[in-house]
């Protein structure tokens, strides 16, 4: 097995996926979220979940840079839905913290006869159990995983991993994990949309200090009301105001008129292009509706565009 001298990472692995995202030089202090993540280290699972643009990765990477324990980081992409690839990246991420873990497992994952995922995870967990040093494994963008075998493997890992390990999942969706059981055992720390929304004080700091604007209290209250604390929405609005000679005037008319194209580009790149084709077809066909109902959608959709199972699920 070919290895790099320092990191022990095999040359088939993209090492940038194992690096924590760099912290921004100017950012809003979100100490209440950092405190939650710190408290989560004594629990089995920390879950940070919210739609796109709420600053999930930024907060977790900021915390990881100041955490007092080692942090293994893995950023996922769509290609990681392959079980062998997923397991390889998880092991290689942890090998950044514990370089001697998983040597034999990586060899077995490259053999012609692939091992069972539970057997691989059992061996991996046993090896981690011998490492008495507490650490955290961060898996970012977990919402990109839709392979049932991987989901079942992660459930097994969460249930059996050693007590000195914390798993932190960052996702746009709620993962298929035994959250209620973990919650009942006080082994789950959760950060959601309500926690990630910018507060009034954070909005002031972001707009006037980080983004370098000089907005009045009235302007800031209006922006906070319109964006509802959506971090990316505030940033896109601020960029639009920065490019306008009279930002206050822009706000008093319609700030979205200046930032609408930024918002649309973001939503297209981060959300729409990742949707399945049948969902995109459905959204296009029903985009003119102010309210949805099953009969109205059926009337607009041809048989070819109706998603599989639509008629059987629409009354659920």
pLDDT value for 8: 47
**Measured between alpha carbons, how far is residue 160 from residues 8, 60, 122, 280 in Å?**
26, 24, 8, 39
- Encoded tokens for 164: 């000195």
**Measured between alpha carbons, how far is residue 13 from residues 90, 123, 135, 143, 258 in Å?**
11, 21, 22, 21, 42
* Structure confidence by residue, pLDDT tens digits, 33-56: 999 999 999 999 999 999 888 999
**pLDDT of 312 above 70:** no
Query: How far, in Å, CA of 182 to CA of 178, rounded?
Result: 6
CATH architecture of 15-196: 3-Layer(aba) Sandwich (3.40)
- Encoded tokens for 314: 């629409």
- Encoded tokens for 42: 């004594």
Q: Mean pLDDT lowest for which of 25-39, 105-119, 181-195, 289-303?
A: 289-303
Q: What is the mean pLDDT of residues 20-25?
A: 78
Q: Residue 315: which pLDDT band, with cuts at 50, 70 and 90? A: very low
Which residues 6+ apart lie within 8 Å of 41 measured at CB? 67, 69, 134, 136, 166
Which residues 6+ apart lie within 8 Å of 311 measured at CB? 298
Beta strands in the chain (DSSP E): 45-49, 71-75, 135-140, 165-171, 188-191
Average pLDDT value for the chain: 82
Q: What is the mean pLDDT of residues 107-124?
A: 87
User: Which of 155, 261, 259, 252 has its CA nearest to residue 211?
Assistant: 259
Where are the domains positioned within the chain? 15-196, 200-259, 275-313
pLDDT value for 267: 54
* Structure confidence by residue, pLDDT tens digits, 272-283: 566 677 777 777
pTM: 0.76
């Amino acid at each position: 097995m070919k290895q790099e001298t320092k990191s022990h990472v095999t040359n088939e692995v993209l090492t940038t996926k194992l690096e924590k995202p760099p912290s921004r030089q100017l950012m809003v202090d979100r100490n209440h979220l950092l405190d939650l993540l710190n408290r989560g280290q004594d629990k089995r699972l920390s879950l940070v979940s919210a739609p796109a643009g709420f600053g999930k990765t930024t907060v977790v990477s900021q915390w990881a840079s100041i955490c007092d324990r080692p942090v293994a980081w893995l950023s996922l992409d769509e290609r990681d839905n392959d079980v062998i690839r997923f397991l390889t990246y998880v092991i290689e991420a942890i090998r950044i913290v514990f370089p001697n873990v998983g040597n034999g497992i990586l060899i077995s994952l490259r053999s012609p006869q692939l091992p069972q995922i539970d057997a691989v995870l059992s061996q991996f967990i046993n090896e981690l159990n011998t490492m008495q040093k507490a650490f955290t494994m961060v898996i970012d963008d977990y919402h990109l995983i839709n392979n049932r075998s991987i989901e079942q493997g992660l459930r097994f890992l969460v249930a059996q991993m050693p007590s000195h390990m914390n798993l932190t999942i960052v996702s746009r969706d709620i993962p298929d994990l035994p959250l209620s059981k973990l919650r009942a055992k006080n082994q789950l720390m959760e950060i959601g949309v309500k926690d990630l929304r910018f507060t009034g004080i954070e909005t002031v700091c972001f707009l006037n200090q980080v983004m370098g604007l000089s907005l009045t209290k009235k302007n800031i209250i209006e922006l906070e009301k319109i964006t509802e604390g959506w971090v990316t929405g505030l940033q896109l609005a601020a960029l639009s105001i920065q490019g306008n000679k009279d930002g206050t005037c822009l706000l008093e008319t319609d700030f979205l008129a200046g930032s609408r194209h930024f918002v649309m580009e973001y939503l297209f790149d981060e959300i729409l292009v990742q949707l399945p084709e049948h969902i995109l077809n459905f959204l296009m066909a029903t985009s003119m509706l102010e309210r949805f109902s099953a009969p109205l959608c059926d009337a607009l959709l041809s048989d070819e565009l109706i998603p599989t199972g639509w008629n059987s699920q629409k009354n659920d």
